[in-house]
Amino acid sequence: MERKKLIFYIISVMVILGLLYLAFSQERKLAVSEETRFFMDTAVTVRVFAADAEEIIDATFTAMKEVAQKADRFDPESEVSKINDPGGEAVQVSPEIFQIIESSLKWAQESQGVFDITIGSLVDVWGFSVQDPVVPSQKEIAAALDVVDYEEVEVCPAGKTVKVPQGFTLDLGGVAKGFVVDRGMEVLKDLGIEAAYINAGGDIRVLGPKPDGSPWRIGIRDPRVSENSSILEEYIVQMATGSIVTSGDYERYFSYDSQRYHHLLDPRTGYPASVLRSVSVVGPSAVEADIFSTLIFVLGNEAGREFIEKVPDYEALMVTVEGEIVVSSGFNNYIE
């Protein structure tokens, strides 16, 4: 009898220890590690579901910053800065920068120049990078537009070289953040992470679902109100894996003579696009969602919706200057 009690006691202890181990393992599995750093002129957040993930997050930031530095035209040591050198010579670049430029040129051609990475001179004449910008004259805008033409960019896939004519300025501001986010997610997946979130100033990519099986829930900022925390309550996006990128007229702008001028410029006119307040694009890749959000913002809601309906696996939500919300045919599939 005593032996039976002993056996029962041992089994009970083993069961309890097993349950405690499983609970501890699940707790570690559900542990969240998160860090935010500032680069690319914005806050960049990496969040992973893993315990003791400091080294993983650090490796992710290192890879992301490396690409961001190469794409920064204001850094004299960057690859893009060397392409923009006044000499107008072909420059060999890294596979990452070549991929960014090649993808950008593809969509520049598809959009007939509505998206154009040679827009650097136009951005400069508007002065968005200086402390006290002013509205440029029509003569200054016309001169800047003379050196905006994606067709003048020469690329050589075999040698990974890029060349622009003298006076032209590549600006990857409409695409680099998306690529950096995609690069960060590649690193996390290579390191075995199964659930993660990266946000670079509105360029978001998620990997999942979360360990408890639930999707990520992502709010879209309401551009019609001034508070940063206000979101479009009826349009909470749910996804297990994918990207959502938002471009808005509230991101970078200045006021002059009681009028607001934002940084999302139309390469066809030289002036800020004037039909939309914001565009959010959902799809697999952050870099393409980044391109599409800028492109649609310039096109406006009618032409923009027509464009995105032709692109497989991507959907868009647009908010017009009048406050109307326009969505593509499949966007509501992402709404909870």
> How does pLDDT run across 85-126, given as a tens digit for each residue?
977 899 999 999 999 999 999 999 999 999 999 999 999 999
CA 99 centroid distance within chain: 15
Q: Is the CB of residue 119 less than 8 Å from the CB of residue 104?
A: no
Residue 308, pLDDT score = 98
β-sheet with 161-163: strand ranges across: 91-92, 161-163, 154-156
161-163 and 154-156 strand pairing:
antiparallel
Q: In order of start, what are the domains of the chain with their CATH numbers?
A: 30-73+175-207 (3.10.520.10), 82-163 (1.10.3980.10), 215-336 (3.10.520.10)
Q: In which residue are the tokens 């939309």 written?
A: 276
Residue 18, pLDDT score = 44
Q: How far is CA 321 from CA 69, 110, 219, 268, 273, in A?
A: 34, 26, 20, 20, 11
Residue 254, pLDDT score = 86
| E strand residue ranges, 132-195 | 154-156, 161-163
Instruction: Say if residue 15's pLDDT is above 70.
Output: no
Residue partners of 133: CB distance under 8 A and separation at least 6: 126, 127, 254, 256, 261
Residue 21, pLDDT score = 41
Instruction: Say if residue 30's pLDDT is above 70.
Output: no
Instruction: Say if residue 291's pLDDT is above 90.
Output: yes
Q: What confidence tier does 20 reach under pLDDT thresholds 50, 70, 90?
A: very low
Q: End-to-end distance of the chain based on CA atoms, in angstroms?
A: 59
Of the candidates 122, 121, 103, which has an alpha carbon nearest to the alpha carbon of residue 111? 103
Residue 17, pLDDT score = 42
Residue 3, pLDDT score = 54
* pLDDT (average), residues 270-291: 97
Q: How far is CA 14 from CA 18, 208, 330, in A?
A: 6, 34, 52
Q: What confidence tier does 6 reach under pLDDT thresholds 50, 70, 90?
A: very low
Q: What confidence tier does 228 reach under pLDDT thresholds 50, 70, 90?
A: low
Burial class (CB in 10 A: 0-12, 13-18, 19+), 18: exposed
Residues 137, 266: Cα–Cα separation, whole Å:
16
Instruction: Say if residue 290's pLDDT is above 90.
Output: yes
Residue 109, pLDDT score = 97
Task: Read off the pLDDT of residues 150-188 as tens digits, 9 standing for 90 and up.
Answer: 999 999 999 999 999 999 999 999 999 999 999 999 999
Instruction: Say if residue 5's pLDDT is above 60.
Output: no
Task: Read off the pLDDT of residues 128-147 as tens digits, 9 standing for 90 and up.
Answer: 877 778 899 999 999 999 99
Of the candidates 149, 159, 153, which has an alpha carbon nearest to the alpha carbon of residue 93? 159
Task: Read off the pLDDT of residues 187-225 as tens digits, 9 standing for 90 and up.
Answer: 999 999 999 999 999 999 999 999 999 999 999 999 988
Task: Read off the pLDDT of residues 32-91 as tens digits, 9 standing for 90 and up.
Answer: 999 999 999 999 999 999 988 999 999 999 999 999 999 999 999 999 999 999 778 999
